[in-house]
Structure 1
């Protein structure tokens, strides 16, 4: 009996030490295999995730804006609009028009770059209209990556099809941190940017000449305000982001797959045009009920600069 116990204990000790020695001798190889497998799994997922957050008009209204509709306002809707006082931030006008299908377009004043203009000499006054949004980039990768370029690519451009324009004209420019692309012109016209919107010495400079975006490896997400600008055509577009990681240089589309952004322009000669003249009230031109618009003659004498 004692001999059997000794044999069993000896077998257990031998198995323990054999496993211990095997673990020690194969630890490096297993670590390499695990690391390689982890890196492969890391690269199987997208380098980063892009999240687009529309501007919250109620909480963060632009200083000056236009509302577009794809149809004409009815007589009752015109009466309802012109009964609104258009002073202040214009939100009462927006709240009236949004349920009718209204879409907001911001004025993009050229004076937003008062320092030295744009770094590459591009004419900053070309892109007059904007629909800004916030873009968040986040990566769950365990290894880091560096976004060193973001290029705007136009997918298609066309003239505006809006029928009615309600215009709250600008009284000044809006200072805001972020990036600006100028998408003026048609599909074949090259986009310009992105430029730095921030106040300070970097304003109007090309962002990626001096900056990169670090993601992954525990880095916090990158949140950016994006202001795309158009002039005489509405454009759908996307961003090609170039990044580098341990395996080389790659490109990822924003939005992902076949997604696009749309930035609308304002028609040169809308079927209906409404604006508020300070001290006189509403003025309107086109297929409208003029009795609702006491400032119509003023609007006809001094039309907006973008009318042609």
Structure 2
């Protein structure tokens, strides 16, 4: 405007300073906004990737198992679904009871080559006694290994049996070996068909108590594979079944089947009234099928029945 004087230098400097401050503030806001978008987008991406990774980690079975029959214990009950011939019975009576072999630990044990050969020719079963040191309780034992490559941890907190099918024991001929007491070892015991949860046979204060009341098997998250020695008795019945493990993780409680390879587990029972029954002792072989058998102390009472479980082993 004509005659107007120019703005003082100090006013121009203030305007310039405010302008620069505004530009800096706008630039900072733009950077924060952009950084915030990137941060939240990255957070969402990481969370989504973790969610997808966790979901992928939990796909399929939580663990795998490998089961194999444990034959390390010397058999004390030889069962055959066929009766033995007169010649085979004579061979059993002529067995050399002083012939020994060695077990996997180098200890001597009776060889019973003839008895084993005869029973094998009849597709017979050989059963050791229980680790509970109970008389007349015969078991079949499996070593079950547990593996998990999950990143997330999990714990097996119980094992039960399922799809149980039992029928009277089919064995017709029985040979019992009574030369020495059974051994002690660790693991769990199932008594079919009544017992639904395993008891401990560990050689400590937990023996006879529910195994998973004080123990669990941790898997995943880099944990070492677990293993369990599992013995099963079935009294006077032949039984087939599957195991089912209960396991827990951060998502809750779940269940998973355990198979014997691709098959069921099978355990033979002791027949209530075998057609033939022989007992081997250090003194020789006794035919317990001859009457009156009650006068022969080494012979088991017939009809055979498994002994009652001690109080702390009885199923609830």
Bin the TM-score by the shorter chain.
Answer: 0.7 to 0.9
Aligned to 2:215: 211
* 1:258-281 per-position Cα deviation (integer Å, ceiling 9, x unaligned): 8432222111221222222322x2
* Shift in Å, 1:299: 8.6
Matches within 5 A, 1:7-18: none
Q: Is the 8 A contact 2:78 2:125 kept in 1?
A: yes
Q: Is the 8 A contact 1:153 1:191 kept in 2?
A: no
Q: Is the 8 A contact 1:195 1:203 kept in 2?
A: yes
Pairs aligned (count): 257
* 1:38-84 per-position Cα deviation (integer Å, ceiling 9, x unaligned): 2222222201112111113xxx233x511111112233433433332
Matches within 5 A, 1:92-131: 92=113, 93-108=115-130, 111=133, 128-131=137-140
Whole-Å separation in 2 of the counterparts to 1:241 and 1:53: 17
* Shift in Å, 1:24: 7.5
Per the normalisation by structure 2, the TM-score is: 0.70
Question: Unpaired runs of 5+ in structure 2?
Answer: 1-34, 101-108, 304-316
Whole-Å separation in 2 of the counterparts to 1:162 and 1:136: 31
Aligned to 1:283: 286
Aligned to 2:103: none
Whole-Å separation in 1 of the counterparts to 2:234 and 2:266: 10
Q: Is the 8 A contact 2:131 2:184 kept in 1?
A: no
Question: Unpaired runs of 5+ in structure 1?
Answer: 1-20, 113-124, 185-189, 288-295
Q: Is the 8 A contact 1:109 1:128 kept in 2?
A: no
The reply on whether 1:39 has 2:82 as its aligned counterpart is no
Q: Is the 8 A contact 1:195 1:206 kept in 2?
A: yes
Q: Is the 8 A contact 2:279 2:288 kept in 1?
A: no
Whole-Å separation in 2 of the counterparts to 1:195 and 1:180: 5
Aligned to 1:143: 152
Q: Is the 8 A contact 1:285 1:300 kept in 2?
A: no
